[in-house]
Chains A and B, each alone.
Chain A
Amino acid sequence: AQKVTQAQTEISVVEKEDVTLDCVYETRDTTYYLFWYKQPPSGELVFLIRRNSFDEQNEISGRYSWNFQKSTSSFNFTITASQVVDSAVYFCALKNNQGGKLIFGQGTELSVKP
């Protein structure tokens, strides 16, 4: 069975702090894809990143970085120098390679205070 766990339900930080959102997944597939989405208060889920299971290179995009470790089945997301606009719910998701459905974690609500 496939499963995604985001153990942190809510995180609150002060602006300019770094924050890491954890994501742990379970799958028996050897080929799979991991995603992060951001859901601001407006409701729309915004795609942030996709990684495939064969690419363990960490990725950095501006203040965002992702750490993918197959050994621990984790795909963590770090925001450096957080800003108020980063306040949102963040979802980690998993998908297999046979056109299967996205399995979402429970989401982590990040609140960045000025």
Chain B
Amino acid sequence: ETGVTQTPRHLVMGMTNKKSLKCEQHLGHNAMYWYKQSAKKPLELMFVYNFKEQTENNSVPSRFSPECPNSSHLFLHLHTLQPEDSALYLCASSQDMQGPGDNEQFFGPGTRLTVL
């Protein structure tokens, strides 16, 4: 595997379910990100982790809970979601957050989430 991988690629869940999204990067990066992409809206940054420490929580509801056990893995735990949470959830990684701003982010293919 190379680059950034995400599983599952598609997920349908009910509002009372608990599920987790997984992201793994094979690039040796130290920063990882979760984005939400809803239809007809720009990408919304949700969380940022740098060297396993959360550095940004963009006012995300507590029904989304991130976890970063190491620099290569990032999870997004979901529970009691709402239908409006249906979206494409993208994971990304970059070298780190502390260097110059020229570190580009590399994105995974996303998880298409549908909440019924």
Contacts and interface: CB of A to CB of B under 8 A. Distances in A.
A-B complex is real = yes
Interface string A85-107: 00000010001111111101111
Contacts of B98: 99
Given A32-B101, A45-B90, A99-B99, A104 B42 contact: yes
A43 B42 contact: no
A95 B42 contact: no
Interface in A23-60: 31-33, 35, 37, 42-47, 50, 52
Contact of B109 (A44, A102, A105): A44
B17 to A, nearest CB: 22
B102 A50 contact: yes
A73 to B, nearest CB: 17
Interface string A6-33: 0000000000000000000000000111
Contacts of B88: 43
A96 B101 contact: yes
Interface residues of A, number: 26
Contact of A50 (B90, B92, B104, B108): B104
B98 to A, nearest CB: 5
Interface string B100-116: 11111111111010000
Contact of B102 (A52, A91, A101, A106): A52
Contact of A97 (B56, B96, B101, B112): B101
Contacts of A31: 101
Given A43-B88, A45-B90, A106-B42, A100 B101 contact: yes
16 contacts: A31-B101, A32-B101, A43-B112, A44-B109, A47-B106, A91-B42, A91-B43, A96-B101, A97-B100, A99-B98, A99-B101, A101-B45, A101-B56, A104-B43, A106-B41, A107-B42
